[in-house]
């Protein structure tokens, strides 16, 4: 399965919460520098993760930031650490944000995302449980918990969480894509196809959605459509074993033995167990 994006609680603006000091003319250079640091920590204008880490670290170490803003800085730095795959550092920052601001739900969800990407799926589910307890209307936390259930092959639970995420946010492309994949696996093919179609129609342009729809077409026996979707997935993610293997199976079923064998072999070089995964999905 292609790794799907998790729904991260977005960065929160710190600017209004900072103690910026007097606006006297003599302090303008210092103020200007501080504003730049705030912008970095806020992640404005697609600032690279390392720059966000540096900006948040400067604010955290400054000693003149209110507790509420400090919690936001830790949350934002945690998101940046998650982006650089430094998951233990991210979790530590989310823990600190939660300590500083009781009831601040974004770092609770984001801690779950870090656990999810780290592969600690049980811990991820516990974090998402807590985020949902704090805010039962947090659709992103439901979608993220569904992804954790998927990792544990708990498909019925995943579907229920995706259902709730979509009820709360009908336009969530990530939740639609995730439910499409889950339905593809459990055999609810037409409903899954509708989910993927809607996700793509509303602007989803990620390999995971095309990979999911391709699996549905493959299971429906619509091999040309499956190949088209696997091609789209591979244009976006050229080394995805699931898309290569699925395209290979579709080509084999169309009678293209050379092309199918080539794809299947390439997929197994990337992931030796990809065939086992497809067998679990009901495709061999």
pLDDT tens per residue across span 184-199: 999 999 999 999 999 9
The secondary structure element, H or E, covering residue 177 is helix 173-186
Cβ contact 139:168 at 8 Å: yes
The predicted structure's pLDDT at residue 19: 30
Query: Is 222 part of any domain?
Result: yes
204 domain-assigned: yes
Domain of 207: which CATH number?
1.25.40.10
Low-confidence ranges of the chain (pLDDT < 70): 1-32, 44-45
Question: Is residue 125, in this structure, part of any structural domain at all?
Answer: no
Residue at 127 is within a domain: no
Residue 248, domain member (yes or no):
yes
Give the pLDDT score at 35: 78
Q: Considering the domain boundaries, does residue 261 fall inside one?
A: yes
Residue 283 lies inside a defined structural domain of this protein: yes
Tokens of 118: 């780290």
Structure tokens at 154: 């708990």
User: Where in the sequence is the domain holding 236, given as residue range(s)?
Assistant: 188-284
Total domain count for the chain?
1
Q: Is residue 62 part of a domain?
A: no
pLDDT at 39: 84
């Amino acid at each position: 399965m292609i790794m799907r994006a998790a729904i991260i609680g977005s960065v929160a603006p710190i600017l209004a919460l900072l103690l910026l000091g007097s606006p006297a003319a003599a302090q303008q250079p210092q103020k200007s520098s501080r504003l730049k640091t705030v912008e970095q920590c806020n992640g404005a204008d697609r600032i690279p993760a390392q720059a966000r880490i540096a900006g948040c670290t400067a604010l955290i170490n400054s000693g003149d930031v209110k507790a509420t803003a400090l919690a936001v800085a830790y949350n934002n730095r945690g998101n940046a650490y998650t982006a650089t795959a430094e998951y233990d550092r991210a979790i530590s920052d989310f823990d600190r944000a939660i300590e500083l601001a009781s009831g601040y739900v974004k770092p609770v969800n984001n801690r779950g995302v870090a656990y999810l990407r780290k592969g600690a799926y049980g811990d991820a589910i516990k974090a998402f449980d807590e985020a949902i307890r704090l805010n039962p209307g947090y659709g992103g936390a439901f979608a993220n918990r569904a992804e954790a259930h998927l990792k544990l092959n708990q498909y019925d639970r995943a579907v229920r969480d995706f259902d709730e995420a979509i009820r709360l946010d009908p336009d969530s492309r990530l939740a639609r894509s995730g439910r499409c994949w889950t339905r593809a696996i459990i055999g609810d093919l037409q409903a899954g196809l509708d989910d993927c179609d809607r996700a793509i129609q509303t602007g989803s342009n990620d390999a995971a959605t095309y990979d999911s729809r391709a699996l549905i077409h493959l299971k429906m026996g619509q091999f040309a459509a499956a190949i088209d979707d696997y091609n789209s997935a591979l244009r976006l993610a050229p080394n995805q074993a699931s898309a290569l293997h699925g395209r290979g199976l579709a080509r084999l079923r169309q009678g293209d033995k050379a092309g199918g064998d080539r794809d299947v072999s390439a997929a197994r070089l990337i992931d030796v167990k990809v065939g086992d995964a497809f067998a679990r999905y009901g495709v061999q």
